[in-house]
């Protein structure tokens, strides 16, 4: 049976009520280049069984990350997630709960978010954290907007080491509000260029460490330069496990720290849903986007948790709101918090050390291959290498040998002129034999 709730008369009445002549007029703000000229190439109707068979056949063409040697990173990382994480987040009180506006019936959810905020604050080295954002890229975009409100300036300097997708997200949100995003040329290490780009009009400087090429940077000098010019420093981290080994953003002078929390508690899941981390200095808290859970006491003096400093109405006031995100990634934040609790500080540090050790072994193996140049000077678990031919062709060739060798940088930034650069990553899930298989196959492919 087909479900068709509206008749033509219903549609006409609705359009007349809002003063629109046709359905097409509802989409006039969507650029023509972004619209499909016709229906997509799919059957107009099919049975549920037929759709399920088709989708299953398409899914079977994918290669699972755990099916063999896997070296992809570039903002989404394969880590081991304990089975207990999945078990706990599927408890009904977590899985089905939604917005905690009524604290008297949502204490469990609110306490989890409060603990999550505490963990994010500890990891980032900043005193205040919110209850999560959609993902790392949208957290980055919201941070740029927040910095513009705080400084009353309209320009953001984006490092060339910032993940191109994060830069695109920042541009998408900022340019509609009249905030300019000046993205520097893609570079493995551009600390000096970032400092040189700061001027009296700069609202914020956005740097990533480890950056998209894997380079680890002490951003203390950038922080001093930004603050001297009256700008804020936003530090982006796409690999949350690195917090276990590297200096925290707050310790290096960051005013705002944003990160992708997928690495802890959340699987790759084809790119989402993920969880954005967001923390800042105390004096900036009134301009921080998203939800904030606080600890209080009830009328009887008993400990309790509530949403604080902002209300839902603040997040639905369109251009006057502090955020365009009026919810948080609650279930993903819960998974992050459970995994982080299981690890603890000591466990996270051990995990980070294992990641770095595996990446060092990977670099040593690849650097011995004739024609391969390791570009990243300081790294955590990811690095960039230069190949003697286009990286995308090499990746495709190795994929036919059941090796997922990495991410060609040209896929992230087609216009950067870095077609021969390949991003490779090793985590605790990368075995010594995986590295040997990749090194052998890559050497053979290059020698052809």
Asked if domains 66-81+344-447 and 83-338 share a fold, the reply is: no
pLDDT at 4: 72
pLDDT digits (tens, 9 = 90+) for 13-22: 999 999 999 9
CA-wise closest residue to 206 among 164, 248, 246: 164
Contacts of 313 (CB under 8 A, 6+ apart): none
Peptide bond into 45 cis (omega under 30): no
What are the residues whose beta carbons fall under 8 Å from the beta carbon of 244, sequence distance 6 or more? 345, 348, 349, 350, 351, 352, 353
**Quick one: tokens of 350?**
């051990």
pLDDT profile of the chain (448 residues), mean per 10 = 77 94 91 89 89 94 92 98 95 78 86 96 98 96 97 98 98 94 98 98 98 98 98 98 98 98 96 95 94 93 91 69 77 96 98 98 97 97 98 97 97 97 98 98 95
Q: What is the pLDDT of residue 42?
A: 84
Per residue in 28-86, pLDDT (tens digit) is 999 989 998 888 888 888 899 999 999 999 999 988 999 999 999 999 999 999 999 99
User: Domain limits of the chain?
Assistant: 66-81+344-447, 83-338
State the Cα–Cα distance between residues 79 and 36, nearest whole angstrom: 38
Complete edge-to-edge strand list for the sheet that includes strand 180-183: 128-129, 276-280, 256-260, 232-237, 202-208, 155-158, 180-183
* Beta bridge mates, 122: none
Task: Pull the structure tokens for residue 314.
Answer: 């603040």
- Please report the pLDDT score of residue 3 as a whole number: 64
Pick 83-338's CATH classification: 3.50.50.60, 3.90.1150.10, 3.90.960.10, 3.40.640.10. Answer: 3.40.640.10
d(CA 411, CA 416): 10
Supply the pLDDT for residue 444.
97
293-297's contacts with Cβ under 8 Å and 24+ in sequence apart are 293/100, 293/110, 293/113, 293/114, 293/117, 293/131, 294/114, 295/114
Res 314: pLDDT: 67
Residue 396, token pair as written in the block? 């495709």
Query: Are the C-beta atoms of residues 146 and 284 closer than 8 Å to each other?
Result: yes
The fold adopted by the segment(s) 66-81+344-447 is: 3.90.1150
Q: Can you list the alpha helix ranges (DSSP code H) found in 299-373? A: 330-367
- 185, exposed or middle or buried, with CB in 10 Å at 0-12, 13-18, 19+? exposed
**pTM of this structure:** 0.91
**Residue 401 burial (CB < 10 Å; 0-12/13-18/19+)?**
middle
Residue 132: which of 114, 107, 106 has the closest Cα? 114
Q: What percent of the chain is predicted at pLDDT more than 90?
A: 82
E-state strands within 387-446: 407-408, 421-425
* Helix, strand, coil percent content, the chain, rounded in steps of 5: 45, 15, 40
pLDDT score, position 1: 47
Measured between alpha carbons, how far apart are the two ends of the chain, in Å? 57
To the nearest 10°, report the CA torsion of 218, 222, 225, 228. -80
Mind spelling out the 3-state secondary structure of 20-73? CCCHHHHHCCCCHHHCCCCCCCCCCCCCHHHHHHHHHHHHHCCCCHHHCCECCC
How much is the pLDDT for 95? 78
């Amino acid at each position: 049976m087909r479900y068709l709730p509206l008749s033509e008369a219903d549609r006409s009445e609705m359009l007349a009520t809002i003063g629109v002549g046709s359905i097409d007029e509802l989409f006039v703000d969507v650029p023509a280049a972004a619209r499909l000229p016709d229906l997509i190439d799919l059957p107009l109707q099919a049975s549920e069984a037929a759709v399920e068979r088709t989708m299953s056949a398409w899914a079977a063409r994918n290669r699972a990350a755990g099916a063999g040697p896997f070296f992809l990173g570039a903002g989404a990382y394969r880590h081991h997630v304990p089975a207990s994480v999945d078990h706990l987040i599927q408890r009904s009180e977590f899985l089905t709960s939604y917005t905690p506006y009524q604290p008297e019936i949502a204490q469990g959810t609110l306490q989890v978010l409060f603990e999550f905020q505490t963990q994010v604050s500890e990891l980032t080295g900043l005193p205040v954290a919110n209850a999560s954002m959609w993902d790392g890229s949208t957290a980055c975009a919201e941070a740029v907007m927040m910095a513009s409100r705080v400084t009353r300036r309209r320009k953001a300097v984006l490092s060339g080491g910032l993940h191109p997708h994060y830069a695109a997200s920042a541009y998408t949100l900022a340019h509609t509000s009249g905030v300019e995003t000046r993205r520097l040329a893609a570079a493995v290490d551009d600390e000096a260029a970032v400092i040189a780009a700061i001027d009296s009009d700069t609202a914020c400087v956005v740097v990533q460490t480890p950056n998209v090429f894997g380079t680890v940077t002490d951003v203390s000098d950038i922080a001093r330069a930004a603050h001297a010019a009256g700008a804020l420093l936003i530090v982006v981290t796409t690999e949350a496990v690195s917090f276990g080994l590297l200096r925290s953003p707050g310790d290096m002078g960051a005013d705002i720290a944003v990160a992708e929390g997928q690495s802890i508690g959340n699987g790759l899941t084809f790119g989402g849903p993920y969880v954005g981390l967001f923390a800042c200095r105390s004096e900036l808290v009134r301009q921080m986007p998203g939800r904030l859970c606080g600890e209080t006491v009830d009328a009887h003096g008993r400990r309790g948790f509530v949403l604080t400093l902002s209300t839902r109405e603040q997040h639905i006031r369109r251009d006057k709101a502090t955020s365009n995100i009026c919810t948080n990634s609650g279930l993903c934040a819960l998974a992050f918090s459970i995994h982080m609790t299981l690890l603890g500080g000591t466990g996270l540090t051990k995990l980070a050390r294992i990641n770095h050790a595996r990446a060092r072994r990977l670099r040593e193996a690849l650097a011995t291959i004739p024609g391969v140049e390791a570009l990243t000077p300081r790294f955590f678990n990811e690095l960039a290498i230069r190949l003697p031919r286009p990286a995308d062709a090499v990746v495709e060739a190795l994929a036919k040998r059941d090796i997922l060798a990495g991410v060609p940088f040209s896929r992230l930034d087609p216009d950067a002129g870095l077609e021969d650069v390949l991003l490779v990553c090793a985590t605790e899930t990368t075995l010594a034999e995986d590295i040997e298989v990749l090194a052998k196959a890559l050497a053979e492919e290059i020698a052809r």
